[in-house]
Amino acid sequence: MSEELVVMDEGKIKSAKTITTIIYVLQAISFLIGITFIVAVVINYIKKGDVQGTWLDSHFRWQIRTFWLSLLWLILGLVTYFILSTTVNRKYEHVPHAIDRSKKGHLTVEVMKCARLLKPKSINNGSG
């Protein structure tokens, strides 16, 4: 790739570096507050033309690519979670959910009742 670097004055470079740093901070905060990731990519797209041809252009491309790849993995993870959770729920529908945690001391009794219900029946009952 033979990209020509654009020379910018010191004030514009400082401003672009500040915006780049702010976007990195917004991406980091998105682990706690997800909407900041969207705000960061919107700023990326708005300011992308200002840094085109500078060394900060690669940072902007990386930040935008990070957003889209993160979104892709989030969607794949949610789809996988949905598929697995519905499959597992269907597989164990017959298991009684009668454990009442509000009654202290009765938890063991309820667990034993459930264990008896799930205990496999013997094929040979000893009568021959």
Domain residue ranges in the chain: 10-91
Can you give the pLDDT at residue 111?
60
**For the chain, percent of residues with pLDDT exceeding 90:** 51
Higher per-residue confidence, 124 vs 35: 35
What value does the CA radius of gyration of the chain take, rounded to a whole number of Å? 29
pLDDT band at 71 (very low <50, low <70, confident <90, very high): very high
Residue 25 pLDDT class (50, 70, 90 cuts): very high
Q: What percent of the chain has pLDDT over 70?
A: 64
* DSSP one-letter code for 5: P
Judge whether residue 9 has pLDDT over 90. Answer: no
Label residue 27 left, alpha or beta by phi (over 0 means left) and psi (-120 to 50 means alpha).
alpha
CA distance 107 to 113: 10
